[in-house]
Structure 1
Amino acid sequence: MQINISGHHVDVTEAMHDYVNNKLEKLSRHHDRITSTNVILSVDKLIQKAEATIHVSGKDLFADASSEDMYTAIDQLSDKLDRQLIKHKEKIRAHR
């Protein structure tokens, strides 16, 4: 899985980069056909935002999360993507 991390009005530190990689690597447990992931970390005044788009088996899944803390926003983002991947995988199994 290829992960692209970029920052908008924020410097992406090595610690943030490693944290995002660790959180998103857990997604590959639910679905093995994740090809690429684009993550954008941004700051709007006091709100920290994390957005991600995952390309999985011909479909793009999008999620975003915002919080006062960047690491909390990344955790929420990971949880949302996890739920979307599980739902997507169940849909594929039900249709076959």
Structure 2
Amino acid sequence: MIVEYTGRQTVVTAKLKTQAEAGLARVAKVANRCTSTHIILTEDKYRKIAEITVQCRGDQLVATCEAVEMEVALHDALQKVEQQAIKHKKRFDTVRDHPRPIPLPLEAV
């Protein structure tokens, strides 16, 4: 998976990168065929914002979280993306496991 990091008004440290890669590894286990990820870390006055966009199999998983510390914001955003991936996978499993019934032909009266 290709991972892009963008730091707006902040520096993306090695600690944040390892935390993001660990979280994305968990997402990759759940979601199939994830091709790319873009992580945007933004720092305003007293708030830190983490935005994660994951491209998976024609679908896009997006999460944005805000906190006082960047590690907390990144952790929360990774949790949200993981929950979206789980929900997405369950939806496709349900469709695959429960196909539509074949309609019976109508008998002539």
TM-score (norm 2): 0.82
CA RMSD after TM alignment = 1.1
**Identical-residue share of aligned pairs (%):** 29
Paired residue secondary structure (1:12):
coil
Give the structure with higher Rg (CA). 2
Q: Deviations over 1:41-69 (max 9, x none)?
A: 00111000000111111011111111001
The CA deviation at 1:32 is 2.9
Bigger CA drift: 70-79 or 10-19?
10-19
1:95: how far off?
A: 2.1
1:1-96 residue pairs with structure 2 within 5 A? 1-96=1-96
Runs of 4+ residues deviating >6 angstroms: none
Partners in 1 of 2:31 and 2:46 — Cα distance? 34
2 CA distance for matches of 1:6 and 1:18? 15
**Shift of residue 7, structure 1, vs aligned partner:** 0.5
Gapped runs of 5+ residues in structure 1?
A: none
